[in-house]
Chain A
Amino acid sequence: MTHPVVLTGLGKRYRGTTALHDVTLDLPAGVTGLLGPNGAGKTTLLRIVATALSPSSGEVRVGGHDPADPSGRLAIRRRLGYLPQESTVFGGFTAFAFVDYVAVLKEMTDRAARHAEVRRVLDEVGLGDRAHQRIRALSGGMRRRVGLAQALLGRPELLVLDEPTVGLDPEQRLRFREVLAGLSPDTCVLLSTHLTEDVAALCPRVVVMDRGSVRFQGPTAGLAALAEGRVWDADAADPGATVSWRTPEGRARNVGSPPPGADLVPAGPEHGYLLLTSAASSAERVS
């Protein structure tokens, strides 16, 4: 079966800086998390998939359509919901008026049907009772939810969400998980985050990026499996570990190659992620 999003040998350069290098990904339906440190190229990749940016090299296919072709781009945009990282939304709008404005840009011309859809998405993100408040008067988390509401308009087949959980409190994060869980299983969701707990809670699949390249793609359990048997606790940070930190219990948790007889602890996705990104940093420092 053809996957909804297929990227082949994707590259992007900005004035001599390489933001993406030879990225090849097959994204199936369902939720895929894009994990990586700041500057990893996550936003660039999402903007390319969302047709906001063109790649310098490589091929993009979304639902079989090529965004380089105007008709293909239009077909993608008709199936797309996009939440950008920066919500530079005009604050003079009410939440309802803003989502309604975007709905018109999404070709929803019938007023009654459009307003019903706007109410639906605002209710979905828990802002039904704030619909007529000005955006500038809303908290950061609420503004983020207004952005999410516009992305959900028209039940898109492809949902591209750049750092959707930034600014959300724990209760709002739970609500966001419910929203994702309520989507059709055929919807392809690509969301970026730098929080491994988001990925563990939301995403059956994960892609780890670092410095413009893909370091890992596969099931989230597979990311945790990378670190299985490579996480151990000790009284002090192990100089041989790839990365170490102090636990709340006062012990040092180490990730890397454990010494014989180490006090091994179960690995999670964050350990696999740290192993991948920190190992790359170490290798770069050595070279």
Chain B
Amino acid sequence: MTWHVDPGTSAGYRAGALPEVAAASVEAHLLQCASCRAVVAATVSPAERAAHDRTWAAIGRGVDTEPATAAERLLARVLPPHVVRLLVAAPALHLAWWAAGTGLLGLAVLASHLGSGRAGTAVFVVVAPLLPLAGVALAYGAVDDLAGDVAGTVPYPRFRLLVLRTAAVAAATLPVAGLLALALPGSGRPAVLWLAPALALCALTLAFSARRDPRRVATLLTLLWLAASWSALRPPRQLPLLAALERSIAFRPPGQVALLCAAVLALAVAVTRRTAFADRSRT
């Protein structure tokens, strides 16, 4: 290093009056020379210093903020930023969204290719409730996937995190399932028969997960649901679709009401036992 910034050059640099090449030389020198940085800093007024601090803070914020994904921007319109942070950060949630969404589309394609369309619609009505359930189980089966053991020692309620993830999966999958159901052959009342069981299965998974692994709960509920709705899977040709589906009690009006009641009851139980969610990992 053969030269240092003299007061005149320093004043010119600070005022932006130096030619571009000279300013670049001064800048390169300042990056390496602490004493010249101190000389330049001494000539900066408090007002200029405050403006620089504001600029640096803005740069810091810009650097610290990772580019928002489309999902993040969409969620940020309806949810507080810190809640969006919790949702979009979870890889398990991405997996759940993809699995449930892909499953639904696959199911719709399968249903549209089955027989006359009646059989396909029956398969859709029976299987569609299981896809949000699978998404929910995937989404919070690994609730500690991000922060490991630390997640069990933070004040943020575990129950709230689970409800957030459940709601995120349900909000992404239920409308898609609804639209697909409307597009199926023979839709009408059968097109909504999947909704009550879907809500009940998601809510029951949430309630039982206070004490049990959600993935096991979801597997058990899947088996129970398939057993309860098996008779509707192969509708006889002579019966109209609705009558064929109603061979299973789950699709008759009392069964649908019971499933909706089960959903409400399960949610109430989950809310009243919310502290148990935090305790599950403490034993």
Q: Do A and B bind each other?
A: yes
Please give the residue numbers on chain A whose beta carbons come within 8 Å of chain B beta carbons, in ascending order: 47, 50-54, 70, 73-74, 77-78, 80, 82, 84, 86-90, 92-94, 96-98, 100-102, 104-109, 111-112, 114-115, 118-119, 131-132, 147, 150
- Given the known A-B contacts A53-B282, A93-B146, are A100 and B153 also in contact in the complex, defined by CB atoms under 8 Å? no
Chain B residues with a Cβ closer than 8 Å to the other chain, count: 32
Contact with A along B81-125 (1 / 0, CB 8 A): 110011001010000000000000000000000000000000000
Which residues of B from 225 to 266 have beta carbons under 8 Å from A?
A: none
The smallest C-beta distance from A117 to any residue of chain B, in angstroms, reads 11
Which of chain A's residues have a CB closer than 8 A to the CB of B148? Answer: 84, 86-89
Per the bound structure, the CA–CA distance linking A104 and B109 in Å amounts to: 41
Per the bound structure, the CA–CA distance linking A106 and B145 in Å amounts to: 17
The stretch from B42-50, B60-68, B184-192 touching chain A is: B60-68
Overall SS of chain B's interface? helix
Per the bound structure, the CA–CA distance linking A234 and B278 in Å amounts to: 57
Whether the pair A109, B80 counts as a contact (CB closer than 8 A) is yes
- Given the known A-B contacts A97-B66, A118-B64, are A82 and B145 also in contact in the complex, defined by CB atoms under 8 Å? no
Which of chain A's residues have a CB closer than 8 A to the CB of B21? Answer: none
Q: Which of B66, B80, B147 has the most CB of A within 10 A?
A: B147
Per the bound structure, the CA–CA distance linking A92 and B92 in Å amounts to: 12
Q: Which of B144, B153, B279, B283 has the most CB of A within 10 A?
A: B153
Which residues of B from 129 to 172 have beta carbons under 8 Å from A?
A: 144-156
Whether the pair A84, B149 counts as a contact (CB closer than 8 A) is yes
The smallest C-beta distance from A129 to any residue of chain B, in angstroms, reads 11
Per the bound structure, the CA–CA distance linking A143 and B21 in Å amounts to: 42
Whether the pair A52, B282 counts as a contact (CB closer than 8 A) is yes
Per the bound structure, the CA–CA distance linking A146 and B264 in Å amounts to: 42
Per the bound structure, the CA–CA distance linking A112 and B146 in Å amounts to: 22
Whether the pair A86, B64 counts as a contact (CB closer than 8 A) is no
Q: CB-nearest residue of chain B relative to A69?
A: B275
Whether the pair B156, A106 counts as a contact (CB closer than 8 A) is yes
Contact with A along B271-283 (1 / 0, CB 8 A): 0000100110111
Q: CB-nearest residue of chain B relative to A50?
A: B153
Which of chain A's residues have a CB closer than 8 A to the CB of B64? Answer: 96, 100, 115, 118-119, 131
Per the bound structure, the CA–CA distance linking A118 and B85 in Å amounts to: 14
Whether the pair B155, A111 counts as a contact (CB closer than 8 A) is no
Contact pick for B82, options A77, A111, A118, CB 8 Å: A111
Contact pick for B282, options A54, A102, A150, CB 8 Å: A54
Which of chain B's residues have a CB closer than 8 A to the CB of A150? Answer: 147, 150
Q: CB-nearest residue of chain A relative to B156?
A: A105
